Amino acid sequence: MNSAKNIIENILPMRPSEQVMDLKRLGSMHQSRLSFMRALMRKIMREKWSIKPTVFKLDEHGYGTVVYSVQAKHNTYSFVLFSNYLSDDERNDRVIAEKWDVTMTLCIGETNDEQIADMKKNVPKQEAGRVNSNMIVLARGNKSSRNFDYVVNMLADGHQPLMSQLADVGYLYRTTAAYGSGKFGMADWAKVKSQCPDFSRPFSAEMFTCYMLRQFSIDQAESLASIKSPNTAVPMDDYVKRYIGIGNSTGLGMAPYLIRHPQLVGQWMFARETAVSRVVYQGEVNNETLGKLTNIITKVLRHISETKVPDAIQTKRNEDLYNELSQVQEWLNEHGLTCADWQVLVRYVETNFSMETQEMLNSLLMELYPELVDELEEELCVDERYEIQPEMSLSELKQLIENKYKWALKIDFSQQGANYFFWYRSEEKMEPRLGQRSIEPGEEKEMPLTIARLVRQCYDRLCADIAKYSANDLVAYFLIRESDMNGIVKRIQTMSKDYYGEIQGNLADENMLPLDLLRCKLSFFGASKFDPKSKLWVRNTMFQGAPTLSDIGKPFADDWYFPIAMEK
């Protein structure tokens, strides 16, 4: 248990896990100061990283090789990108795609021509290639053709792109995958964490790679405009550059990760909930903080009004959020100065408004008190360790399940719809998929992601074992008799020590929305403008509003979240 946990446990009340880890609530979360992109940008700006293109060999179509040298605080890295021709009908954001507009890698140290030539053979192949342990991230992206061509043409003609156009689609490229953690021969997370301290926080290298693709998209657009019309082309204005983010498509692949890493998820949630608890109970309410919150809400309202997505359900959620946040602002104007602390506001919002608004408010309150929140970004890592406690008695294990997994035991798996889905890996690139149990083959190959059902099975077997042997018998003996329970017993015993971590929902239920899982992880990443394309995948925008390379070294207010379209 880390120090933050000890401090908070003794002082501040935390929201209970049944509230925080409810799947629907997780699917209502928004980016915050602790999101990985936010923390990464603070680090880059604070440490004044020096990032410069050292190779920029693009032809008149924008195809070629680009290398940016990255001098961070501790090490030098290279961001190497290959841009290739891709026909419109080959452009596919799905994981099963085999060609992309750009492919890229982030590697340790400077690169030479020989290394770049070797990368060129493998990086464009992505999953089908092999890379080496000097590389940290392997990623790819596709052009948002309409937007990209529009921006290039505008710049070539001597104009800035219209912000209203960029408000609809706020990026020139979308990433479709960013692999790290040792995939395809890359450096293991343990190596990155111990040997690359600049990227020793979860997913910071992956986030940085997306940030660099955003930078490339701007540089490439300017370069092409200049080639197209050297006499009239203008560079992109800084305010436009900042408003260009990087698109992202996220599918089911992200969902199993959250289930398989409950300790890590628990750590992230604990840091976030600690921040919420600190600001709600310790943040002072005064004219200054009230004014700041009102201003932030005004900005967020405009951001929401500028967010246009085709999905009817998401549009309704955005409208509700807008209306409810407007009411929060009215309430603040009326009652704000009478609040002794933020608990009053939080209670009002919890009683009257949707989870979406409740979680938005939590994120916004964090913005008022960087001094209470930002240090928690150091608490986002955990060395995951799942261990059997063989000395535990069976009665103790039973009690532990009854206390900590009450939510799982409440689910009646005999009910129609409770076993509707099953998760499996497809032979197509081992892509995780969700099957309908009654009609699709492969149920016998189900992935063990329905934790609630596994807990129920374990509990039933445990009760039967106790009846046959003794409640005083030990787990060590139970696992000899019921060796197939090893995995779930290990998980139950380990996770019983964590406040958060287990996502409290039935992942096989007919009404389960995988999007909620994706949204949870994306909010930790720091993504915004969620644009669901089905129940199974979502487009979103990353780094929109963030400083660009030319901003590094200048004053930084860390207020780039929920950006709004500002005309010059």
Partner 1 sequence: MKASRNELNALFKQAFEGVGFDFGGYENAADMIIWTQMHGMNSFDSIRQRMSFFAQRKRLLAEQLAPDTLVLDAKDNSVIDAKGNSSIVAAGMAFDIAYVKALESGVAQTTVLNCHDRKLAIKKLVDCANRGFVCLAYWRDGETLHVITSNTGVCCPEYFQYKLEDLDDSDCLNEKHQQTLFVVCASHALGLQEYISNNLPELKGNQSFIMSPTMMKSSYMAALTNGIEIDNSFWKELAILGKEVLVESTEQSRMGAGA
Chain residues that interact with partner 1, rule: CB under 8 A: 93-96, 130, 132-133, 176, 181-191, 194-195, 249-253, 387-388, 390-391, 424-428, 430-436, 439-442, 445, 448, 454, 474, 476-477, 479-481, 483-490, 514, 533, 536-537
> Which is closer to partner 1, CB of 387 or CB of 567?
387
For 421, other C-beta atoms within 10 Å of its C-beta total 23
Spatial distance between the Cα atoms of 408 and 511, rounded to a whole number of angstroms: 16
Retrieve residue 529's tokens. Answer: 């403008």
> Which is closer to partner 1, CB of 119 or CB of 346?
119
Q: How far is the CB of 530 from partner 1 (least distance, A)?
A: 14
> Which is closer to partner 1, CB of 304 or CB of 492?
492
Tally the C-alpha atoms within 13 A of residue 85's C-alpha that lie toward its C-beta.
4
Q: How far is the CB of 502 from partner 1 (least distance, A)?
A: 16
Alpha-carbon Rg for the chain, nearest whole angstrom, is: 25
Q: How far is the CB of 194 from partner 1 (least distance, A)?
A: 8
What are the residues whose beta carbons fall under 8 Å from the beta carbon of 526, sequence distance 6 or more? Answer: 31, 35, 36, 37, 38, 207, 542, 543, 561
> Which is closer to partner 1, CB of 424 or CB of 499?
424
Q: How far is the CB of 3 from partner 1 (least distance, A)?
A: 21
Spatial distance between the Cα atoms of 131 and 110, rounded to a whole number of angstroms: 16
Q: How far is the CB of 539 from partner 1 (least distance, A)?
A: 9
Spatial distance between the Cα atoms of 478 and 115, rounded to a whole number of angstroms: 54
> Which is closer to partner 1, CB of 37 or CB of 187?
187
Q: How far is the CB of 229 from partner 1 (least distance, A)?
A: 36
Q: How far is the CB of 536 from partner 1 (least distance, A)?
A: 5
Strand 245-250: give its sheet, edge to edge.
Answer: 50-58, 64-71, 76-83, 102-108, 135-143, 171-179, 245-250, 538-542, 528-532
> Which is closer to partner 1, CB of 333 or CB of 426?
426
Retrieve residue 18's tokens. Answer: 């049944």
Q: How far is the CB of 264 from partner 1 (least distance, A)?
A: 14
> Which is closer to partner 1, CB of 321 or CB of 542?
542
Spatial distance between the Cα atoms of 382 and 365, rounded to a whole number of angstroms: 26
> Which is closer to partner 1, CB of 194 or CB of 550?
194
185, 118 Cβ separation under 8 angstroms:
no
103, 124 Cβ separation under 8 angstroms:
yes
Q: How far is the CB of 556 from partner 1 (least distance, A)?
A: 34
In 3-state terms, what secondary structure has residue 303? helix
For 445, other C-beta atoms within 10 Å of its C-beta total 11
> Which is closer to partner 1, CB of 313 or CB of 476?
476
Spatial distance between the Cα atoms of 391 and 414, rounded to a whole number of angstroms: 33
> Which is closer to partner 1, CB of 278 or CB of 539?
539
Nearest to 526 by CA among 378, 377, 383: 377
509, 417 Cβ separation under 8 angstroms:
yes
Q: How far is the CB of 182 from partner 1 (least distance, A)?
A: 3
125, 461 Cβ separation under 8 angstroms:
no
The DSSP bridge partners found for residue 179 are 138
In 3-state terms, what secondary structure has residue 408? helix
